Structure 1
């Protein structure tokens, strides 16, 4: 199994004010210091976040930034599920820019920067921008190549900027000013139904638009068809499971409303590997550097 989220102030200072790990739930957080933020990315399955005396459900792709000195915990939605998360603890000293500079660029988040809010939460982009940054940090942290701390601190800045932008966009969407509401809602819906068969007509009907208009949206935003996008998301989902979870392949097949033959054909088209070949080569137990601690 992957390491749990164990760290304290002494460990963090020794590691250069940052700690990055690919871990699993349940975990109880926060370091014994008021000076550290916690960044948590839900990479596989769902989770329950307990904070401020409330429990909130988190889905794959949700990202949470927790303020210093906030007691909270994460648990799996179901006791028989395994929730994988990418986590990063970092001090204010690790930030490339001060909170005051962030505040000037993102006024909608002034209450968070002033310590009046315990966390902010956003959902990653369809292209999984933040997830890719988190994996890059894990890779850098595990290998500790020369200059790795500079790279990690720069990546934290990029993650925060992307989170703050997403938060601002979501706020504007709620106010009715964001022009990409439909495509964002559609792609989030596809990701929430990633194991199921979805047709273009079914999704278009759900969101009250024509199939032709939905096709144009996918071409405009992703330069691919609805089917190509859906299949790419399924392949990414399978890849993530094969890399992170050590379990029999038939359990992955059982999650999907597709035959194993179809899944293998689709997977090989996008990756060049069969599902069994990919698991043998890239699962963390097979020496994948992203998961070697």
Structure 2
């Protein structure tokens, strides 16, 4: 009876954990293969007479965090997916709906979570990032417990690896033509307010206009030749809007933020999914351009 109870309460992933440990052990053996003169003799390169090992090095660390939704029906399904060799997908962390965090891979090891993607000039995000999957089927809101746990996790990661705020991004950001996660319910502004990602100053939007908007014909324009300004005592208190120049280039602005614009419409959609989060099926409008302009100035 005790044996049966013990087996019921044991870790259901004990078998794959053993595989994990075996793979890590194999990697550690590779790290111990020092480039000695003996194993360089077979090379055609002109090595020196002896091997010299530097004393100044450490382990590589992640510099990005890529956030995902699992697009599956339960955290159990996701954990199973990430422990099946045939799936060829994984992440460093999985956050369940109840806020529980599953740390699936050492932070210094390379997870297979980003796939083909790009952010700025970085075309191998898997090698420089941590992947965090959040249990969500892609069509639902994230739970408060999830986001609370996620914020605590991000805080720990940011402090440990000194990751810049702007390097907390979404899967759809790095793969705009392939991915739409995390979905439009994801609270990017809440994360940005906590220091994970950048956001725009919403108050600045009220005083921002496109050049075409500002200079459009206005029947109420005062004719300065009538010298009416002397009759308007509040003229010196008027707040003039900031103008977005007519030559503001949307594609270049998206590139500066980090988006791959080889498919410009996909990049625009990914931007809207992250920063606008509504009217996602609509083309860029004046409001979207203003938000892009404010963010572009932050990323310069």
Question: TM range, normalised to the smaller chain?
Answer: under 0.3
Larger Rg: 2
Q: Give the TM-score taking structure 2 as reference length.
A: 0.24
